[in-house]
Amino acid sequence: MESRDPRMESLCSFTLRSFRLEPQTWREFVSEEEKLLLFTSFFTCPDSLHLFIYRDAEAQLSVSLSFPADICSKLICVSKAGREAVTMETKPNFIIQEVQGDDPLSFLSAITEQVSFLSAITEQVTCPLLSNPENSQGWAAGVAEEALRFMERQKNEAQVMKAQVDGRTFLPQPDALHDDHHQDNGIQEDSAERKLLDVKLVHACESTAIEWAELVSDFLQQDSSQPLLDGLKPPPSCEVEFWRNRLRNLQFIQQQLMSSRAQQVASILKTADSVYSCTLTEIFTHVQQGLMEAEDVTHNLEPLQEKLAEVEQLEYQQLRDNMVAVMEEVRLVWIRSQFYRKPCRIVVLLQEICNLFIHLSREFLRGEEVMRGLVADPGPVLDDVRLVIVTLQTLKEAYSQCRTQLDHHQEAHCVSLQLYQLHQTLLSGVSGRMWSDVVQDVYQDFLGHVAVLSDCSCDATDPEDQSFQPHLDQFRAQVWDLERRLVSVLSRALQDCCASSSAAKLLQMFGFILERPLNQEQLRPHLSRLLEVVLTELDQTRLLVSSQREKADTFCRFTPSPAAVLCWTQQLQLRAQQALKNYKAAQHLCVDSGELQVVVQRFQQIVDLLQDFRDTVRSDWNVQLDSDSDFILEQPLIQHDQQGMLGVSSSQKLEVLQRELRYVSRETHMTLRPQAARLLTCRDDITHTYLNLSHMVSSYNQVVSGVLQVELPLIQDQLQDLDQSLLELQRNTWSSEGLQQLVEQQRQKVLMFCTTVMKARANMDTITDIIQGWVEELHLLQRSGDSLLEGGATEQSYSRLREEGQELLRLTQENQSLYGAQDSSQAWITYLDHIDDKVQDGLFQLLHRSLHFLCDSMNPQLQETGSAFEPSVGGGLSDLMKSVISDVYTAASLLPRISVSRHGNYQVSLQQSPDLSALEKEVMRRLLEVSEEAERLRAELDRYSHLWQSDRQSVMQEFLTYSRQLGPEEGEVEEAPPTLKDFRREIDSLRKLYTEVTHLDDVIALHGWLQVDRQPFRDSLLSIIQDWSHMYTQHLLDLLKFTRLMFVSSRQNRSDPVSSLLDSSGPEQSKRGTMMRTLQK
């Protein structure tokens, strides 16, 4: 790297001027390989932010990526403005300054002060000034906001730079969080602008989340092995410092993520349902995991760092006695640390420890003095060299001892882990249950041995404790006995295997015991059974190929026969390969290599046989495909069948051929003949054309097959034009040019015609559904369940008929437009008459059903008051029924007439229907019969008429005079005042009559349809009977009062009350006399 490198020019000039050096000194300085590596690392590595150039103790220029120790003179600090790599094509952006070596933080303080000053000015002065609206009243719209956002970005960049100088990662905040509260007052009225700001806020938060993810990811991807990969030789203190800095930075990042600003960003993204909400969650999770890792590693590296610090303070002659202690600390790190227990990390740590001891050895020897000792006094130098060799050899022996001890523990755990798998071992076959029980016994014995080993009182982490070795030797002997028993089970199970796959599974299941040579020797004689099984399977495969070669048509009914044959042969070859693979699984146990040659030779014979069979099938299939393709290419596209329907020519054969070509396209070893190759080349185009033709033909046939007799004259001309247009498709074959465009044009014509006809038919179906709805759902008469209510037809049914009549008219006019028919066209008139017949038939069934309902289950509601009907069952009921029938017929006049050739509305036509007239006469006949029955019912109730027709006062006076009611033919009768017995007779007679009236039915039906409600009549009659009974009862109560009055009067006047009352004159004399006579009796 020469001085003309643009990245070095500024460094060169500043260094020469600062240290007052010659250019030749700089060229010699940058020509050293070690210095070039440091400069390259500073320029390209994102983590190398500073470079220090200084004079060492020998006044020679030196360079370092970290602040050099024990330097009291000045040095040059070069800092990058960012983490980006500085290449030769980019303009270097460095901060170069002189600092004092005795103050390691002087250069950082300078940068920190500058950045802190810039951040403070921005936050405390610039931003408040720009955010105050009064300071930007005269500015153009948006200038203040843009300036504020720029200063916020500058503040973020300054804080990022400050954090980088401190070795930390700063997470910048989005600008929109600062802008939002400044503009709330002015934007509340403008919802559109408020929404735009919300979008900007979400976008800013998403950009921030992406930036945070990149920053955190870049930091978490940093690894302590990077200096080693860069060719440097860091000591273990660099490893410890790396994890300390990592822990501090992760704590700093966690504090930022837990801050209110970060929580606000997360809340905004979650409210907006942004996909970057999950990104923030992942960032926090990764930081938490990294924090746990850094805490664990830092905690476990601290004892090692303390020990190494002690070692560095010792004399070199004392290092040898501390090697074991250092390696013991390394081993404890491996055992105790959950996250540092990785080979890659322990290797880095060991390399750094080696670098430390190499550095101590070089400082002890001093290379210049070693070479000078050859001339001066080689004896002391030789002693120092031997001491260094012995010391480093001691380090190696300590490492080997530690590794051996760990290997012993690893062996015990590996064997235990392998034998723990016996718990899930299950052998099948005739003797499988027995062998499984033996394996479980072995497993139980193993559990006992492991329990004894785990209870031994020895410290596995203490290198001085050698008591573990006897326990390990005993455990090895026990494991050997268990493996011997398992080998016995395996050998017996191999003898029972009848398939090579079963034997291979057995060997895989017990593979861990086959790793020992002694077990292999015991098992090798039993592997001859595996050879026999494999050869038998290969022979069966060869016989199967020979026997099935002539039955190629019986392979699969859903796959082309040649393709099924090829697939079948491929499966047979895979079966043979699996048998060979099963044998090779035990190949390392076989001594005789000739057996493998026999198996491979037999396998190759099967492969050759199958290949010959496949070549024959492919050749025959190729000829057949070419013949079929030639036939298909000469066929017309479409043709008419005997019923006049269209069809794609040879459609089934074309589908079969296309399916076979799809299978052929997967065959890589098959070259098609010209016609088949041509069809395969345009297979996609032919498939697309065939699907279009099938769709077109299906639509055409659907229209033709479902044509109505009255519809055919309307579409006859269009159908003939369409048939003439389709003749062009019948003249072209599959080999013609421009098929896709031609078929697409014809398909569009057919689909347009079919769509028009199908829409007209859908309208006709709608008409039919409307008419059918009248027959099944519409009720012209007001009903309550199965009873007819008074009032005739409902207005709701009338309204429905009017609306649906207009809908029928609209659908008919739409069909006229679709068919393109003229009003005067005879075909159209016939079509309208057809619809008119449908409408009239529907109305007929509607009226017929309504009159039938009247005839079968008429249910008018009548009330009886006294002995007369309300309404009258005479002319009133007849008028009501005639009104109902008239309402039924009126419904037919509400629909407009569809036919133009028929005059009058539908009511006139339907009133002339003999069936409806007969039903109407039947209704009136039944009405006459029920009227007569109602009159007979009224006559039966007339026997109670005396109760409301007689004058109660006259009857009472007559009873008091003669003790009974006189007949009209009786003349002068002797007076006979009533007794109490006469009163009781009359009252009992009324009670009996009351009971009789009470048991009258509330409602009775005459002839099963005319309902008579007698409850009003019964209630009124019961009230009259109670009045009569009350009249007799009240008379007796008055008599009792009169008696009490006489008794009181006789006590007061002491005279004969009877005589005084009898002597009294006036209108009451007769009544009092009657009472007295009643009492005397």
Total count of domains within the chain: 4
The pLDDT of residue 1023 is 85
Q: Which residues pair with 64 in a beta bridge?
A: 52
pLDDT at 333 over 80: yes
Whether 806 shows a pLDDT value over 70: the answer reads yes
Q: How many whole angstroms separate alpha carbon 460 and alpha carbon 467?
A: 9
Residues 6+ apart with CB under 8 A from 386: none
SS3 517: helix
Q: How confident is the model at residue 742 (pLDDT cuts 50, 70, 90)?
A: confident
* Percent of all residues in the chain with a pLDDT value above 70, rounded to a whole number: 72
Is 4 a residue whose pLDDT tops 80?
Answer: no
Enter the tokens of residue 382.
């030789």
| Residue 476 belongs to some domain of the structure | no
The Cα 472–Cα 409 span in angstroms is 9
Give the lowest-confidence range in 307-321, 630-644, 1060-1074. 1060-1074
Q: What percent of the chain has pLDDT over 90?
A: 4
Residues 647 and 549 in one domain: no
Give every CB contact of residue 92 below 8 A, 6+ residues apart in sequence.
6, 7, 10, 86
Pairwise CA distance, residues 608 & 613, whole Å? 9
DSSP 700-740: HHHHHHT--TTTHHHHHHHHHHHHHHHHHHHH-BTTSSSHH
Are residues 622 and 517 located together in one domain of the fold? yes
Per-residue model confidence (pLDDT) at position 793: 52
DSSP 132: -
How confident is the model over 6-13, as a mean pLDDT?
Answer: 81
Query: For residue 720, what pLDDT is reported?
Result: 87
- H/E run at residue 934: helix 914-940
pLDDT in tens, 105-155: 555 555 555 556 666 666 666 666 666 666 666 666 566 666 666 666 666
426, 354 contact by CB (below 8 A): no
Confidence check: pLDDT of 1060 > 50: no
Per the domain annotation, does 395 fall within a domain? Answer: no
Where does a domain end: 634, 663, 686? 634
986 and 931 co-located in one domain: no
Q: Would 817 be classed as within a structural domain? A: no
* Domain assignment present for 865: yes
| pLDDT at site 103 | 55
* pLDDT given at position 247: 92
- Residue 295 included in any domain: no
* Same-domain pairing of 983 and 1063: yes
pLDDT at residue 161 above 70?
no
Looking at 895, 911, 940, the residue that finishes a domain is 940
What's the pLDDT band for 347 if we cut at 50, 70, 90? confident
Q: Which of 171-180, 295-304, 805-814 has the lowest mean pLDDT?
A: 171-180
Q: Which helix (DSSP H) or strand (DSSP E) does residue 880 occupy?
A: helix 875-890
- Asked if pLDDT for residue 439 goes beyond 50, the answer is yes
Mean pLDDT of 194-209: 78
Return the pLDDT at 292.
94
Quote the mean pLDDT of the chain. Answer: 75
pTM of the predicted model as reported, rounded to 2 decimal places: 0.43
Residues 590 and 646 in one domain: no
pLDDT number for residue 113: 58
Name which of 22-26, 490-494, 554-558, 732-736 the model is least confident about.
554-558
- What separation in angstroms does the CA of 11 have from each of 42, 65, 95, 559, 623? 13, 15, 10, 78, 81
Question: What is the rounded average pLDDT of the residues 426-447?
Answer: 77
Q: What is the mean pLDDT of residues 783-788?
A: 47
pLDDT at 875: 52
Same domain, 616 and 689: no
Looking at the structure, tell me whether residues 593 and 536 fall in a common domain: yes
- Under the banding of pLDDT at 50, 70 and 90, the label for residue 285 is very high
Query: Are residues 1012 and 898 both part of a single domain?
Result: no
Q: Which residue has the higher pLDDT, 104 or 831?
A: 831
Q: Tell me the C-alpha distance between 1015 and 1021, whole Å.
A: 10
Residue 1062 confidence (pLDDT): 41
Point out which residues pair with 639 in neighbouring strands: 647
**DSSP H helix total and E strand total for the chain:** 40, 12
Quote the pLDDT of residue 969. Answer: 67
Query: Is the model's pLDDT at 283 over the cut of 80?
Result: yes
Does 306 reside within a domain?
A: no
pLDDT for the residue numbered 118 = 60
* pLDDT band, residue 290 (cuts 50/70/90): very high
The C-alpha atoms of residue 771 and residue 808 are separated, in whole angstroms, by: 9
Q: What is the mean pLDDT of residues 502-507?
A: 74
Measured CA distances, 681 to 656, 675, 677, 898 (Å): 17, 10, 6, 59
781, β-bridge pairs = 793
Please state the rounded mean pLDDT for residues 184-209: 67
pLDDT level of residue 461 (50, 70, 90 thresholds): low
pLDDT of residue 533: 80
Q: Are 187 and 194 in contact (CB under 8 A)?
A: yes
pLDDT, average across residues 599-612:
84
* Alpha helices (H) in 732-874, listed in sequence order: 739-776, 795-819, 826-857
pLDDT the model gives residue 1066? 44
Tokens of 371: 């070479």
- Whole-angstrom Cα distance, residue 929 to residue 683? 85
Mean pLDDT on 252-256: 91
Give Cα 99 distance to the centre of its chain: 63
- In a shared domain, residues 674 and 575: no
One DSSP character per residue, 968-1034 reads TT--S-------HHHHHHHHHHHHHHHHHHHTS-SEEEETTTEEEE-HHHHHHHHHHHHHHHHHHHH
Predicted pLDDT at 297: 92
Instruction: Examine the pLDDT at 184 and tell me if it is beyond 60.
Output: no
| pLDDT digit string, tens, across residues 976-997 | 788 888 888 888 888 888 888 8
- Higher pLDDT among residues 899 and 289, named by residue: 289
Residue 517: the pLDDT is 67
Neighbour tally for 1075: CB within 10 Å: 21
Residue pair 371/391 in contact (Cβ under 8 Å)? The answer is no
Q: Is residue 421 part of a domain?
A: no
Which segment, 285-294, 367-376, 398-407, is predicted with the most confidence on average? 285-294
Q: What is the pLDDT of residue 593?
A: 58
Cβ neighbourhood burial of 872 (10 Å; 0-12, 13-18, 19+): middle
Indicate whether 1069 pLDDT > 50.
no
- pLDDT attached to residue 866: 41
The whole-angstrom separation of Cα 339 and Cα 298 is 10
Mean per-residue pLDDT, 152-161: 66
* Cβ atoms 64, 75 nearer than 8 A: no
pLDDT score, position 430: 63
User: What is the arithmetic mean of pLDDT over 744-765?
Assistant: 89
Of 490, 538, 494, 492, residue with least CA distance to 510: 490
What are the tens digits of pLDDT across the range 1021-1056? Answer: 888 888 888 888 888 888 888 888 887 877 766 544
Q: Quick check: 604 pLDDT over 50?
A: yes
Region 52-65: mean pLDDT is 82
In a domain, 741, yes or no: yes
Task: Say if residue 615 is in the same domain as residue 650.
Answer: no
Is pLDDT at 296 greater than 90 in this prediction? yes
The answer to whether 847 and 916 are in contact (CB under 8 A) is yes
Distance of alpha carbon 958 from alpha carbon 986, whole angstroms: 13
871 upstream amide cis, omega within 30 of 0: yes
Mean per-residue pLDDT, 519-535 = 73
Q: How far is CA 978 from CA 583, 975, 984, 1031, 1057, in A?
A: 135, 10, 10, 14, 22
Q: Is residue 866 located within the same domain as residue 962?
A: no
CB 616 within 8 A of CB 708: no
Which of 600, 619, 634 is where one domain is finished? 634
Q: Which domain holds residue 961?
A: 953-1080
Is 850 in the same domain as 929?
yes
pLDDT of residue 591: 47
